[in-house]
Amino acid sequence: MFDPHLWRRQFPILERKVHGKPLVYLDNAATTQKPLAVLDAERYYFEHFNANIHRGVHALSQEASEAFEGAREKVRAFLGAAHVEEIIFTRGATEAINLVAQTWGRTHLEAGDEILISAMEHHANIVPWQMLCEMTGARLKVIPMDERGVLLMDQVDHLLTARTRLVGITLVSNALGTVNPVVEIIRKAHAAGARVLVDGAQAVAHVAVDMVALGCDFFVFSGHKLYGPTGIGVLYGKKDLLTAMPPYQGGGDMILQVTFEKTTYNQIPYKFEAGTPHISGAIGLGAAIDFVRSVGLENIAAHEDRLLQEATERAQRVNGLRIIGTAPGKASIFSFVLEGIHPHDIGTILDSEGVAIRSGHHCAMPVMDYFHLPATARASFALYNTLEEVESLFQAIERVQKLFLN
Ligand code: PMP
């Protein structure tokens, strides 16, 4: 039986108080808290074998290199990728998408080509493609959604054309919680001759993925939304694509030989990892993956579903509360608005009660525009949240209403 109270002990930060109240941390879609296993792994690295990697012959450098490459292998296994060199460490999902846009994109797109994304993308999966369109003369097209936050899949067939080069799609929407039918989208895109980049930033902490089964060409995620450190993320790319792509940044580690006349590049994944990487971050991410696997993604997903169900039912009893994003089978993101109260005021008063949620556009302004809202309030659940915390959220919401509406 999954008991979040037991797992909470692994997260020291959850014991702290905010404004004299016990912290109720419900901003997990923005970033998750870190378990002791991750904190310990980073600290152990700094205490025992901190050194630069791949270069030194000395013991510390070799140990650091082994731990760094060991973390890469953990990511490979976690994603079900066929080859370890298909895993490139980046600063996060954002950098991974920019890498693909600036390397693969610049060499594969020309004027008149098309990029297809969805109506619920995070800005990180919109702006890099717009920048690429400006550089190449390509055009950005959008798969629309309905008011539940479900993509209009019947439109995909005519939106995909012979000019579509890439489809960029989020597996889980950070603003709505929708889990998109990426398998179907990948199948349709490939049939049309397009490549597919899946944004897994919100997905990997909730949904098991398998690159071989999924068949996507690129997949990105950030460590910090998976109970790992900030500043470390992953680009997965199919080996043949990555091998053919030009490098992203130039510098140390990404070269084989440098002369002033000509430089030859290293093989993948190093070709895309110029400069000293976030060594402790990668090691911390490896520890986060071990941690998530020890808890079990199926257990985490089932627990979060229970919390979401409780929140959804509890919301029926709150007058004037409207849930934004009601797709069937959605992930544990509970976005809402309260009639007559600005989401920022909700966030501020909830904070004074110790309840941390996010209020704003969630880096998905087009989603806010679609719903004619300036912002929403968003509670998002993780493995350590409890039913009691869901109740605390609603008590705080009722307090907001009392303050504003009486
Ligand atoms: N895509 C989605 C769906 C996200 O939720 C986020 C983070 N909010 C990102 C991309 C970007 O992730 P990061 O800021 O860690 O690069």
Mean pLDDT to the nearest integer, 318-346: 97
What's the domain range around 199? Answer: 39-293
Segment 143-152 mean pLDDT: 98
Give the three-class secondary structure for 234. Answer: strand
132 and 275 share one domain:
yes
| 380 close to ligand 1 (CB < 6 Angstrom) | no
Q: Quote the pLDDT of residue 83.
A: 98
Q: Is residue 15 part of a domain?
A: yes
341 lines ligand 1 (CB under 6 A): no
Residues of the chain with pLDDT > 90: what percent? Answer: 97
Whether 33 is in a domain gets the answer no
Q: What is the CATH number of the domain that holds 19?
A: 3.90.1150.10
What does the pLDDT read at residue 175?
A: 97
Q: Ligand 1: distance of its center to the CA of 75 in Å?
A: 18
Looking at the fold, whether 270 and 339 belong to one and the same domain comes out as no
Indicate whether 372 and 313 sit together in one domain. Answer: yes
Task: Tell me the pLDDT band of 275, cut-offs 50, 70 and 90.
Answer: very high
Answer yes or no: is the ipTM higher than 0.90. yes
Provide the domain count of the chain. Answer: 2
Assigned domain for 379 exists: yes
CATH code where residue 179 lies: 3.40.640.10
Q: Is the pLDDT of residue 406 over 80?
A: no
pLDDT of residue 393: 98
CA–CA dist 318, 401 (Å, integer): 9
What pLDDT does residue 1 have?
Answer: 81
Give, for 359, the enclosing helix (H) or strand (E): strand 358-360
Which of 241, 269, 293 delimits the end of a domain? 293
Same domain, 275 and 148: yes
With the C-alpha atoms ordered 399, 308, 284, 251, is the resulting torsion angle positive or negative?
Answer: negative
Same domain, 282 and 365: no
222 in contact with ligand 1, CB cutoff 6 A:
yes
Structure tokens at 179: 């889990």
Q: Taking 90 as the threshold, does the pLDDT of residue 342 lie above it?
A: yes
Name the residue among 222, 245, 319 with its Cα closest to residue 85. Answer: 245
Nearest CA-CA partner of 41 in 186, 268, 232: 232
In a domain, 16, yes or no: yes
Would you give the distance in Å from CA 381 to the centre of its chain?
14
**Closest C-alpha residue for ligand 1 atom 5:** 174
Supply the pLDDT for residue 405.
80
* 393 domain residue, yes or no: yes
The answer on pLDDT for 168 being more than 90 is: yes
Using CA positions, which residue lies closest to atom 14 of ligand 1? 94
Mark which of 293, 309, 343 sits at the end of a domain. Answer: 293
Mean pLDDT of 241-254: 94
Q: Tell me which residues are annotated as active site.
A: 363
Tell whether 15 and 59 lie within a shared domain: no
The domain boundary residue, chosen from 293, 314, 347 = 293
* Mean model confidence pLDDT for the chain: 97
> What's the mean pLDDT in 287-308?
98
pLDDT-derived band at 191 (thresholds 50, 70, 90) equals very high
Report how far residue 354's alpha carbon sits from residue 127's, in angstroms, rounded to the nearest whole number.
34
β-pair partners for 356: 25
